[in-house]
Chains A and B, each alone.
Chain A
Amino acid sequence: MVHQYKNNGFNIVLDVNSGMVHVVDDLAYDIIEMYEEHETDEIIAVMLEKYSKPEYQKLINTEDYPDASTKDDLEILLEQIHEVLSHVTQMKKDGSLFTKDIYENYIQDFKKRSTVVKALCLHIAHDCNLACQYCFAGKGEYNGDKSLMSYEVGKAALDFLIANSGKRHNLEVDFFGGEPLMNFQVVKDLVKYGREQEKLHNKKFRFTLTTNGILLDDEVMEFANKEISNVVLSIDGRKDVNDRMRPSRNGKGSYDIIIPKYQKLAEQREQNNYYVRGTFTHNNLDFAEDVKHLADLGFKQISVEPVVAPDEEEYAITKEDIPYIFEQYDNLAKFMIERRKEGKDFNFFHYMIDLSGGPCVAKRLSGCGSGTEYMAVTPWGDLYPCHQFVGNTDFLLGNVYDGVKNYELQEEFKQSNVYSKDKCKTCFAKFYCSGGCAANSYNTHGTINDAYDIGCELQRKRVECAIMLKAAEAEE
């Protein structure tokens, strides 16, 4: 399977199943497009006809061509067509073009393995000091009552994680909410407990914190810089955009309160191991401007992501919004190239792609791990497959004291992967999204084994832009 596209002047050929990326000229682009479905003679005839036309002739580079002066243009063209054909044939033989999908059985076997729990999302507070309009957590309370996690419940959660983590060394715990800093003492106490336990059990805890910044003060910053491996700082971008969707309970915007704090923390962390993380909605489809705004404020680690909301919400992203959003992603990618050339580069989370390293194919195809490797814990200790299912008791897995009890549900999550979703089988982006988000699928289709279609379209576009950025980088 091959995915070909043109973006920002680059002709890109992605060999989907090997992950190999080729940047090609127009002639090679056209030949690759025909290669699998047409006979060689037919390809040659089509290329000769197209590239002998004056408007295409200039696309054939003869500058470094040997004996160019003694040959006529048609002769050179024919030789170049043969050169490309022979190269494409070799690439196919080498396994870097038109490679087959050989992973299905491998992934099914991989999914059957006995899994361990490696990450927990601790809902430290089902309460929030903001009232963000789009909050999937029902303004922090997950459609339930306000509640703070006690130290005892948090401690039992860490014990559950250690006990169910097998030989896995690195364990991840996210302090999430609501707003976790509304229960900061418990966060501190749990980190202290975790550090004691990691020595006893030969584990390493990596703590992360997701906060809206309102309660971020010097004490929290000092603690975070010492103990928290990644801090996610919520902000949507420009002041008017942020304050419209992220007001406080009394209706005032949060922008002016949080910006100086975020800048201070980002500097203290030497512009690493944090994200300023925003959400864009139907109300700010020109979100590239928000990313630029955050970059202009000096932030180097930026993530701005599409809202996931029920169709009936006025801020929900619609199918009609997609072409404009694509333009925004293109604009953003070009802006990042300019900034890189100026030595003022920054990372955009969804454009980060590691072609030469990156995750193994097992990781890429086996799904996000929700319900098996990753679970969310409510303030009172209930276990859910992930934070987005909290509040829907159909998805209650068990609790931190008795462990997982709903084995049938867990098995459903365990078996969910790229090959259990029809839409993913033929999608070129499946190696980059791992089959997408189970909660998004459930919210749009009522099953975790489908895919959220708008999300998929945006994901594909982001993968295209991310690869284009790599092509541009290789050229610089």
Chain B
Amino acid sequence: MRHIKTLNTRNLKESMKTGGCGECQTSCQSACKTSCTVGNQSCEKK
């Protein structure tokens, strides 16, 4: 489509089916320690 290009994105709704296992890292354990960032974290099921 010349007007709209969709980036390769996971539809969040899909993740309701398989998500919530809780094996992922806690958000403060990576680098931040003073904010809360989850969008950049990895899913352990990947």
Contact = CB atoms under 8 A, between A and B. Distances in A.
A360 B6 contact: no
- Give the size category of B's interface with A: 35 or more
A356 interface: yes
Contacts of A303: 31-32
A368 B26 contact: yes
Interface stretch (A147-155, A281-289, A347-355, A405-413): A347-355
Interface string A318-361: 00000000000000000000000000000001101111111111
B24 A363 contact: yes
Interface string A84-114: 1001100100011001001100100010000
Given A24-B4, A349-B31, A19 B26 contact: no
Contact of B11 (A19, A174, A459): A19
A53 to B, nearest CB: 19
A22 B7 contact: yes
Contact of B31 (A136, A275, A363): A275
A347 to B, nearest CB: 9
Contacts of B25: 119, 170, 172, 206
B34 A440 contact: yes
Contact of A364 (B34, B35, B39): B39
A434 B38 contact: yes
Main secondary structure on B side of the interface with A: loop
Given A168-B22, A172-B25, A349-B40, A18 B11 contact: yes
A316 interface: no
Contact of A19 (B5, B12, B20, B23): B12
Contacts of A431: 12, 39
A258 interface: no
Main secondary structure on A side of the interface with B: mixed
A20 B36 contact: no
Interface in A356-389: 356-364, 367-370, 373-374, 386-388
24 contacts: A17-B12, A22-B6, A87-B3, A87-B4, A106-B16, A115-B22, A116-B22, A119-B25, A230-B31, A277-B31, A307-B34, A349-B37, A353-B40, A358-B39, A359-B19, A360-B12, A361-B12, A361-B19, A368-B27, A373-B26, A374-B26, A431-B39, A433-B39, A436-B35
Interface of A: 17-25, 27-28, 61, 64, 80, 83-84, 87-88, 91, 95-96, 99, 102-103, 106, 110, 115-116, 118-119, 121, 136, 168-170, 172, 174, 176, 206, 208, 210, 230, 232, 275, 277, 279, 303, 305-308, 349-350, 352-364, 367-370, 373-374, 386-388, 431-437, 440, 455, 459, 463, 466, 470-471, 474
User: 8 smallest A-B Cβ distances: which pairs?
Assistant: A360-B19, A432-B39, A352-B40, A360-B15, A362-B20, A28-B3, A19-B12, A119-B26
